[in-house]
Homo-oligomer: A and B are copies of this chain.
Amino acid sequence: MEQLNTLWVNTGLYQISPGQALMLLVGMLLLYLAIVKNFEPLLLLPIGFGAILANIPGAGIAEGNGILHIFYVVGIESGAFPLIIFMGVGALTDFGPLLANPKTLLLGAAAQFGIFATLLGAIGLTAVGVFDFSLTDAAAIGIIGGADGPTSIYVASKLAPDLLGAIAVASYSYMALVPLIQPPIMRALTTEKERQIEMVQLREVSAREKIIFPIMLLVLVALLLPDAAPLLGMFAFGNLMKESGVVDRLSDTTQNALINIVTIFLGLAVGSKLMADKFLQIDTLGILLLGMVAFAIGTACGLIMAKIMNIFSKHKINPLIGSAGVSAVPMAARVSNKVGLESNPHNFLLMHAMGPNVAGVIGSAIAAGIMIQFLG
């Protein structure tokens, strides 16, 4: 009888807290979004599963010597996983459209205002007593507006590890929601005539330019903002492996086996931060709300910047590509293309939008470097 009792008190049913039960449902919601709604499944499926594992009562998978906690310490606390993912993203990025039209970098700059507006919002809401975020918390939350998962995770692991779970979930969820969030804002802030603007064909970009660009980017970062160097350094390294053409076997592995392996463990490790007692707080709601706002503001600022640039430039930019400056590669660029086609069925903006799209990756990493320098 004693052993039957031991068995019973060790079941999950006996030990489960309401919070854990709720978090199991949250984990399943993430799986549902990933599998059925196709929301960034590469990350949300492992995160969702990790969340379920982390909230199994009594198993301790996300604590102490639990395997997910080990993955977290080894991969995220060290910074290794997000940096390796960023290297892989670099190896998958084509800077061609950006090099053909460098001024679209400014669209990527403008869209970062979403980050700082959210920082201000978080601090403002703390000031009026709605939430209780520190400046480092607010900075980590703001980076959600950068629409770059690995950047968000990297910054959160440095500045606000307790909020990492919520920030990562918000980041990837909103990246997946880009096709829903952006179009209304894009239609509201542009005139039909603006949306019909056709852009000049992009010039050919030579292999040499593509090889020199990542090195040049790294040197500029090294000289001006060393705190952004880990992120942009690994990004540039991945891109150089791809563009140099002399290490194709390394580049191929980086784009496939390596990034896939790290994605799996990154996702599980992020999921481990969705334990009930840390996640089920009013702060999480604040993060989700503020993250949404960050996306909307970033989108708007990208559009507005494009309109401002059109005042001064003779080669007109279709402002719809401005919204791609939030990054969320390549979804945001595809949204620009889609909304553009609604107004002009012969106007393919995709390649034009890829410029601000990758510029947004650089811009967010720069913003992340600033946050780490001032607050890290």
Give A residues with C-beta under 8 Å from B.
3, 6-7, 10-13, 15-16, 24, 28, 31, 34-35, 38, 41-42, 45-46, 49, 52-53, 56-59, 61, 65-67, 70, 78-80, 83, 211, 215, 218-219, 221-227, 229-230, 233-234, 237, 240-241, 244, 246-247, 249-250, 252-254, 256-258, 260-261, 263-264, 268, 373-374
Contact = CB atoms under 8 A, between A and B. Distances in A.
A233 B61 contact: yes
B12 A222 contact: yes
A31 B66 CA distance: 34
A79 B67 contact: yes
A16 to B, nearest CB: 7
A45 B218 CA distance: 15
A78 B70 contact: yes
A223 B16 contact: yes
Contacts of A66: 230
A259 to B, nearest CB: 9
Contacts of A3: 374
Copies in the complex: 3
Contacts of A46: 237, 250
Tell me which of A226, A241, A252, A258 has the highest count of chain B C-beta atoms within 10 A of its own C-beta.
A226
20 contacts: A3-B374, A6-B374, A11-B226, A12-B222, A12-B226, A13-B223, A24-B219, A35-B244, A42-B247, A45-B247, A57-B222, A67-B83, A249-B256, A250-B263, A253-B260, A253-B261, A254-B260, A257-B258, A257-B261, A258-B260
Contacts of A263: 250
A369 to B, nearest CB: 10
Nearest to A214: B49
A81 to B, nearest CB: 11
B254 A264 contact: yes
Contacts of A53: 218, 229-230, 233, 237
The 3 closest A-B pairs by CB, nearest first: A253-B260, A59-B226, A41-B246
A230 B261 contact: no
Given A10-B373, A253-B256, 13 more contacts: A6-B374, A7-B373, A11-B226, A12-B224, A12-B225, A15-B226, A34-B247, A45-B240, A46-B237, A53-B237, A250-B263, A256-B257, A258-B261
